[in-house]
Amino acid sequence: MIREERAPAGRRGRGTMRSTEQGDSARAACTAAGILAVLIWSTSFAFGRSIMEQLGTFGGAACIYLLGGGLGFLLMVLRGGLGSFQRMPSAYLAVCGGLFVTYIVTVQAGIGFARDRQQAVEVILLNYLWPGLTMALSVPIQRRRARWWLAPGVVLGIAGACLGVASGRGISGWHLVENLRVWPVPYVLGVIAAFSWASYSNLSRRLAGDGRGSGVPVFLLASGLALGVLYLFWREPMRWSGRVELELLYAALFPGLLAYTFWEIAMRRGRMGLVVATSYLTPLLATIVTCWYLHVPLGPRLLVACGLVVAGAVLSSHAVREPGLG
């Protein structure tokens, strides 16, 4: 009879410890990727609006995502990632892919349809309701527990977004109604974008989990194709220059490809709560960067609006907890 030799208990313990440490390190790296995505996104709308002003609403956005998605798809093929993509759950590819494309199309259309740069900044602020909505939607989608102050947090974020919409003409409710009456389409698109991205962030974790593979390059490419089809119906002149080519390259590589890839990694395999908490600063950072790059006055009302959105998202986050999900 051959006796099976077993490793000493101490050696087994050290092996388990190393495995745990490796798992913690991998989770920390995924979390760091999500935080980096948040920082990159702070620059995305400034460059996106500038590109749209030169290449058209849908033409400029289509160029960004076709280039970013095409590069990502090429890298995926070269790394042999098509197999892992094909093995991903069909529900994830269909539902999350649809939400991803919806988000890209609505947020880009909202910024592009804005009648001026001031309104574009207001749409960006509306879009940044998604951090608070992400935590709120995690209650029904991921079955997290919510405390009573979740509702005040969501209301506070909405109040900040409304103040941001009214910031161009004043702070009263009549000014808000007037802004919405004159040209409401960009604001509606900004709200749809916020709900779409909050839903995507939760469902990508639930439907795909921490498995290998990612649909982001394909989702980006699909978004670019959808925007390209819309460009066929809204043909606008394209004014190419050295500046717009550099802006396009940056927007496609960093906010377009890397940030979305990093975000998905963080949502599926990182500490979701910490990453979303970091994203609370994005409305403020994105508004400051966009105002600086597009030469839009950064008034006190807009800063107060950003602060309310951030405060609402923070309150929503602390109201939602579930052990083991970060």
Domain boundaries, the chain: 41-321
Length reported for the chain: 326
Structure tokens at 157: 């974020």
Q: Over the stretch 260-274, which tens digit does the pLDDT of each residue have?
A: 999 888 888 888 777
Q: What distance in Å separates the CA atoms of residue 307 and residue 256, rounded to the nearest whole number? A: 26
Q: What distance in Å separates the CA atoms of residue 277 and residue 270, rounded to the nearest whole number? A: 13
Q: What per-residue confidence (pLDDT) applies to 2?
A: 43
Structure tokens at 19: 């495995």
**pTM: predicted TM-score of the whole model, two decimal places:** 0.78
Lowest mean pLDDT among 148-162, 170-184, 189-203, 295-309: 170-184
pLDDT at 240 over 70: yes
Confidence grade of residue 228 (pLDDT, cut at 50, 70, 90): very high
Confidence grade of residue 131 (pLDDT, cut at 50, 70, 90): confident
Mean pLDDT within 184-207: 91
Q: What per-residue confidence (pLDDT) applies to 120?
A: 80
How many beta carbons lie within 10 A of that of residue 323, not counting itself? 7
What distances in angstroms separate CA 167 from CA 173, 199, 304, one per listed residue? 11, 28, 10
Q: What distance in Å separates the CA atoms of residue 135 and residue 142, rounded to the nearest whole number? A: 10
Q: What distance in Å separates the CA atoms of residue 257 and residue 275, rounded to the nearest whole number? A: 18
Contact between 99 and 200 (Cβ < 8 Å): yes
Question: In the chain, pLDDT over 90 holds for what percent of residues?
Answer: 27
Task: For residue 197, give the amino acid letter.
Answer: W
Strand partners, 146: 320
